[in-house]
């Protein structure tokens, strides 16, 4: 195990200097950008802001036998999103190295952790999020992964720092993630089932800090939470209907000073999408998370909304979401909270 995984940009620069590219290699480049405008209103405030302006350059070195390596960046150029929520959504920066036809691909740098739905479902531009802010407290991490196809199965394996993007590794703790999935296709439907496992030290958020909605939330750096997670995820589509689900369980060990709390964790997530018109999709979701079975504290949320695509570069999303924080002690947060989010996303 590498003692320290350096920040991704430094890693990429070193690799560019040390990887010997054949003289006949050619370079293919792309540059995409995205703007996100959002109106958010809950029981305490409302605001209209620009959460993020991002640039997405990509460079692929090609040889006679195909792609040699690809550099992918996601540059946060500005906006109102910050702290943990920014870390969860922005700053992918990694190097892809294919090792041959039918062989695994290496992925080095800041990348999405391939746990559960995160492995194949891009939550970045969505206003309805899956369970990862509660179960992991992290989406993008600095590490090394390998993925590919083995027979009828897709697989992922990753070792990472557990600190999030743009952070050096300050300890010897690592996070190890593994996932395997299989897809089944019929004439009318598609089904994918995946199994994931994860263990390591990950960020700890105080109860009630919903980082999926609160841009000011930040992990408690004075606490250490060791997490073990197992997930069963499913995606099923049939005509205009799409269902995503995830069941997550595991163990937590929280150390704050000399105080240690342990317990079992479990929760679930369900999302249903239905395409009413070619460009108009309605969405509903429900999730539940209980971090410690030794405590009655638990969190749930439900949402309804829609997504309308004006064209492939412009889409509008709306969601009404209700949060329930149950048996959260010594915290100045409401038991229930309602929020409305309206987001316009444009890509170029």
Q: Is residue 3 part of a domain?
A: no
pLDDT for the residue 330:
62
Q: Is residue 2 part of a domain?
A: no
Mean pLDDT by 10 residues, the chain (348 residues): 46 50 72 92 84 93 84 92 88 94 93 96 92 93 96 96 85 90 93 98 82 74 92 97 97 92 96 97 97 91 97 96 84 78 95
Looking up tokens 């690592």 gives 174
Q: Is residue 164 part of a domain?
A: yes
Q: Is residue 119 part of a domain?
A: yes
Determine phi and psi for 296, rounding to 5 degrees. Answer: -85, -5
Count structural domains, the chain. 1
Q: Is residue 228 part of a domain?
A: yes
Q: Is residue 193 part of a domain?
A: yes
**Cα–Cα distance for residue pair 29/279, rounded to 1 Å:** 30
Instruction: From residue 26, give the alpha-carbon distance in Å to each of 69, 213, 279.
Output: 11, 43, 38
- Rounded to two decimals, what is the model's pTM? 0.89
Q: How many residues can be counted in the chain? A: 348
Q: Is residue 1 part of a domain?
A: no
Q: Is residue 283 part of a domain?
A: yes
pLDDT for the residue 83:
83
pLDDT for the residue 2:
42
**Which domain does 302 fall in, by range?**
8-347
For the domain that residue 219 is a member of, what is the CATH number? 2.40.160.10
pLDDT for the residue 19:
52
Q: How far is CA 5 from the centre of its chain?
A: 20
pLDDT for the residue 62:
86
């Amino acid at each position: 195990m590498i003692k320290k995984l350096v920040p991704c940009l430094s890693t990429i620069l070193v690799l560019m200097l040390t990887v010997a590219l054949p003289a006949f290699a050619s370079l293919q480049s792309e540059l995409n950008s995205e703007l996100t405008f959002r109106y958010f209103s809950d029981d305490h405030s409302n605001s209209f802001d620009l959460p993020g302006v991002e640039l997405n350059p990509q460079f692929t070195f090609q040889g006679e036998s195909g792609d040699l390596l690809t550099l992918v960046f996601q540059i946060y150029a500005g906006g109102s999103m910050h702290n943990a929520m920014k870390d969860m959504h922005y700053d992918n920066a990694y190097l892809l190295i294919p090792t041959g036809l039918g062989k695994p691909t290496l992925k080095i740098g800041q990348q999405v952790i391939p746990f559960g739905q995160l492995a194949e479902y891009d939550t970045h531009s969505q206003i309805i999020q899956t369970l990862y802010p509660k179960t992991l407290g992290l989406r993008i991490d600095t590490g090394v992964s390998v993925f590919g196809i083995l027979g009828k199965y897709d697989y992922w394996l990753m070792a990472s720092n557990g600190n999030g993007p743009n952070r050096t590794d300050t300890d010897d703790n690592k996070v190890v993630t593994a996932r395997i999935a299989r897809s089944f296709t019929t004439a009318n439907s598609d089904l994918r089932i995946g199994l994931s496992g994860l263990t390591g030290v990950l960020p700890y958020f105080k109860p009630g800090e919903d980082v999926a909605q609160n841009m000011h939330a930040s992990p408690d750096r004075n606490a250490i939470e060791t997490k073990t997670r197992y997930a069963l995820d499913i995606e099923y589509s049939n005509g205009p209907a799409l269902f995503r689900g995830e069941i997550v369980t595991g163990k937590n060990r929280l150390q704050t000073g000399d105080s240690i709390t342990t317990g079992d964790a479990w929760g679930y997530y369900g999302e249903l999408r239905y395409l009413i018109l070619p460009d108009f999709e309605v969405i509903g979701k429900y999730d539940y998370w209980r971090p410690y079975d030794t405590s009655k504290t638990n969190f749930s949320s439900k949402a309804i909304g829609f997504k309308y695509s004006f064209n492939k570069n412009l889409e509008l999303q709306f969601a009404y979401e209700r949060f329930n924080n149950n048996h959260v002690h010594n915290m100045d947060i409401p038991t229930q909270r309602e929020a409305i989010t309206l987001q316009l996303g444009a890509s170029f």
